[in-house]
Amino acid sequence: MDKILGTINGMEFTVGDTLLELSYLIAALLFVVGLKLLSHPETARRGNMWAASGMGLAMITTLLLHKDANGAGISLTNVWIILCAIGVGAAIGWIVARKVKMTAMPQLVSLYNATGGGASMLVALLEYPAAVAGNIGSLLVTVLGLIIGAIAFSGSLIAFGKLDGRVGDIMKPFMTYLNLVLLIATLAMGVYIVISPNPPSEMLWAIYALTALSLVYGVMFVMPIGGADMPVVISLLNSFTGIAAAMAGFIYNNQAMILGGILVGAAGMILTLLMCKAMNRSLLNVIIGAFGGGGATGDKDQGVMKEITLSDASVLLSYSQQVVIVPGYGLAAAQAQHVCRELDELLSSKGVNVRYAIHPVAGRMPGHMNVLLAEADVPYGQLVEMESINPDMPGTDVTVVIGANDVVNPAALTDPSSPIAGMPIIKAHESKNIIVMKRGRGKGYAGIENELFFDDKTRLLFGNAKDSLQSLVNEIKSL
């Protein structure tokens, strides 16, 4: 028999309850430690383990010690069902994580966001009758969990489709107003459900209508946002998923879910704001501005792009002292990170100081380039953030831009009419020589010409990044 320690507000408090709450506190501390370690590439793997340990502890103690309002624990049958579900999910996650390519990591993150939001949405739907029978507070968090979870679910699926090239941008002038109407209708339906005195059986139509409205709004919310804003969108949707998980925690009065959701939601929102700062734009502008959707204007005749031969590029790099590599999504798309690392090592063996300039929004998700280069065993000390590398650019002999575009476009600094005006960039144009590797003469995700490509100091090496880098490595070896 579980020993009763005392009562709180008329409810008995047992040893099992105490141990369960203590485990949740320890789990929350492990989440915080893990989150802190995740802030640096060198400790990120360890941070993942700490956070996973916290979640594992919370899951185990919940299965063993949780009791319902009647004092009954989880039945053995339900424990086995839960364990089987966890096993299946863990197996699928393990297989997917092992097989996913680094280029598809943003898509995987979007799918993870979708599953979290979808789970919170289902929890809210299932617990709605009990929430109505409770107080106004429980009903409010249930409705909020449903709305936020549904938006995170459908929005993340659309983000996945856009990142994977399966869904295009749909940007029409009326969409901003349509989304505003959808948002107002969704919130109005939520308020109606919360304040309605009708019993659950008479409100099922409303809860299903709210679910449908939230799902449609999630789709319409992400659909107009252009590819250049995907890092911000992913961070924002991640924040939504965390908030939805916290709402589910309130529904079940589960401290671990509440604290974990709050941490994820807060971290996602902080990262979202940092991404916006890196682009010198407000979050509202990202959501309604449709930046990067191909409709940018203001292009002008820049001049002629000048090419460079492999021989000239190899000589220029081999006899330099300072080389900076600016990676972009083109590097990831070509899966050229390992060849890039080979070029880096080859130049380093010749006494060249090689570093990588990392822009906060390079790639398709926050930290995409860091993760990509870490897979190729690039030392973390060689990865230099934009603010730290920019002062050194005037003394750089050669800057090699691989698959990056908008994050090195000087128009952000020189053209007030440009859609990217004011966005902080890596100042590749200040280096002594620039070599740009790109597949063709097309524009970047922002849909505008890059002034850097027409600079007198810039030479372009056209072709697939992996093939170009491999040819360049072979050419340098033959010198």
Q: Which domains does the chain have, with CATH numbers?
A: 100-295 (no CATH), 310-477 (3.40.50.1220)
Quick one: CA dihedral 41, 46, 47, 49, positive or negative? positive
Q: Crossing angle, helix 15-37 and helix 41-65, to 10 degrees?
A: 170
Other beta carbons within 10 Å of 302: 14
Other beta carbons within 10 Å of 1: 4
Beta strands in 173-271 (DSSP E): none
Copy the structure tokens of residue 48. 């993942």
Query: CA-CA distance, 353 to 351, in Å (whole number)?
Result: 6
Which among 218, 216, 248, 214 has a CA at the least distance from the CA of 233?
A: 218
CA-to-CA separations, 388 to 36, 365, 427, in angstroms, rounded: 22, 21, 11
Report the catalytic residues. Answer: 406
Query: Dihedral, CA atoms, 207, 210, 216, 217, nearest 10 degrees?
Result: -150
Which among 178, 115, 180 has a CA at the least distance from the CA of 149?
A: 115
pTM value is 0.82
Contact 425, 454 (CB under 8 A): no
User: DSSP assignment of 24-40, as one string?
Assistant: HHHHHHHHHHHHHHTTS
AA identity, residue 193: I
Which among 354, 348, 443 has a CA at the least distance from the CA of 404?
A: 443
Which among 326, 295, 234 has a CA at the least distance from the CA of 419?
A: 295
Within 8 A by CB and 6+ apart from 379, the residues are none
Query: CA-CA distance, 191 to 213, in Å (whole number)?
Result: 13
Looking up tokens 């979708």 gives 114
Q: How do beta strands 353-358 and 383-385 pair?
A: parallel
User: DSSP assignment of 295-344, as one string?
Assistant: ------------B--HHHHHHHHHT-SEEEEEE-HHHHHTT-HHHHHHHH
pLDDT reported for residue 12:
56
Beta strands in 156-199 (DSSP E): none
Query: CA-CA distance, 146 to 117, in Å (whole number)?
Result: 9
Query: CA-CA distance, 3 to 21, in Å (whole number)?
Result: 15
Query: CA-CA distance, 298 to 417, in Å (whole number)?
Result: 7
pLDDT reported for residue 385:
92
Going residue by residue through the chain, which has 479 residues, state the pLDDT in tens, using 9 for 90 and above.
Answer: 455 555 555 555 567 778 888 999 999 999 999 988 987 777 888 999 999 999 999 999 988 888 776 777 788 888 899 999 999 999 998 998 888 877 788 888 899 999 999 999 999 999 998 887 777 888 999 999 999 999 999 999 999 988 887 887 676 677 778 888 999 999 999 999 999 888 877 888 999 999 999 999 999 988 887 666 777 888 899 999 999 999 999 988 888 899 899 999 998 999 888 888 777 777 877 776 554 444 444 445 567 889 999 999 999 999 999 999 999 988 988 889 999 999 999 999 999 999 999 998 887 777 888 888 988 999 988 999 999 999 999 999 999 999 888 899 998 898 888 877 888 999 999 999 999 998 876 666 556 788 999 999 999 999 999 999 999 999 999 88
Contact 294, 367 (CB under 8 A): no
Query: CA-CA distance, 113 to 127, in Å (whole number)?
Result: 21
The per-residue b/e assignment along 440-454, b for 16 or more CB within 10 angstroms, e otherwise, is eeebbbbbbbbbbbb
Query: CA-CA distance, 222 to 124, in Å (whole number)?
Result: 23
Query: CA-CA distance, 140 to 152, in Å (whole number)?
Result: 18
Query: CA-CA distance, 221 to 290, in Å (whole number)?
Result: 10
Query: CA-CA distance, 303 to 454, in Å (whole number)?
Result: 6
pLDDT reported for residue 367:
81
Contact 328, 401 (CB under 8 A): yes
Looking up tokens 């372009």 gives 460
Query: CA-CA distance, 465 to 400, in Å (whole number)?
Result: 11
Residue count (the chain)? 479
**Which residues are 437's β-sheet partners?**
402, 461
Query: CA-CA distance, 152 to 243, in Å (whole number)?
Result: 10
Query: CA-CA distance, 365 to 234, in Å (whole number)?
Result: 7
Q: For Cα atoms 39, 114, 227, give the angle at the middle one, nearest 5 degrees.
A: 75
